[in-house]
């Protein structure tokens, strides 16, 4: 699988902090040291404690109705994301996350994330029906989502068939995580998230 087939994965949370303080809510903007450590453990230390505090502020800004989790609508309420939309599969993964899950989601984009961690994340993006196997149809759906109308359905099928064949798989193969590790293991994946620390 060529690098051009990978989703372009980068998120910027920097512009969120321009939202008013009011939107943060009062009680929800507090994290105890215990909470911070728990979240840090949950994301396998992909973020520093300071980054987690900063992410929590962003999370509270996103969670406009203070219900403890964010919806994809709330995510899209940020003008920059609406203009430059995240793919549907990423949005689907973000929908309904609580803070701990939100940090775990973002941890694949951390510079401290391992290659294995990043590949697992990409596998999830491609496994559009979440059954632990990535089929030709899963990939087509993910690519349709990622490439939009830039290429036709027929071109997409042709290119995908060719890429699979070059990697040694038939069109009816089901790829599991270890196949992704094999294919992407040497690709020098770049995934980044920008987290401003105040
Ligand atoms: Ca699947």
- The Å distance, Cα 101 to ligand 1 centre, comes to 21
Contact 71, 96 (CB under 8 A): yes
Distance CA 135, CA 168 (A): 14
The rounded Cα 75 to chain-centroid distance in angstroms is: 13
Domains and CATH numbers, the chain: 13-184 (1.10.238.10)
Spacing, Cα 41 to ligand 1 middle (Å): 29
At 176, the pLDDT band (50, 70, 90 cuts) reads very high
CA 192 from chain centre, in angstroms, equals 10
Q: How remote is the CA of residue 173 from the centroid of ligand 1, in Å?
A: 11
Residue with more model confidence, 77 or 112: 112
The pLDDT score that the predictor gives to residue 24 is 43
Question: How many other β-carbons are positioned within 10 Å of the β-carbon of residue 110?
Answer: 22
pTM of the model: 0.74
- What is the whole-number distance in angstroms between the Cα of residue 36 and the centre of ligand 1? 34
Per-residue confidence at 84, pLDDT binned at 50, 70, 90? low
pLDDT, tens digit, 9 for 90 and up, residues 4-17:
444 445 565 554 44
């Amino acid at each position: 699988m060529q690098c051009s087939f990978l989703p372009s994965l980068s998120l910027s949370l920097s512009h969120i902090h321009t939202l008013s303080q009011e939107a943060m809510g009062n009680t929800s903007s507090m994290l105890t040291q215990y909470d911070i450590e728990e979240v840090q453990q949950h994301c396998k230390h992909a973020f520093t404690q300071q980054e987690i505090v900063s992410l929590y502020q962003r999370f509270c800004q996103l969670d406009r109705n203070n219900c403890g989790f964010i919806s994809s609508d709330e995510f899209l309420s940020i003008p920059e994301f609406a203009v430059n939309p995240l793919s549907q599969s990423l949005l689907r993964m973000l929908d309904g996350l609580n803070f701990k899950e939100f940090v775990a989601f973002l941890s694949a984009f951390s510079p401290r994330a391992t290659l294995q961690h990043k590949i697992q994340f990409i596998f999830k993006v491609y496994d559009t029906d979440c059954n632990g196997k990535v089929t030709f149809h899963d990939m087509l759906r993910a690519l349709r989502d990622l490439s939009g109308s830039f290429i036709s359905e027929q071109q997409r099928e042709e290119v995908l068939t060719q890429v699979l064949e070059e990697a040694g798989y038939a069109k009816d193969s089901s790829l599991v995580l270890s196949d992704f590790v094999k294919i992407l293991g040497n690709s020098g994946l770049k995934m980044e998230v920008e987290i401003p620390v105040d």
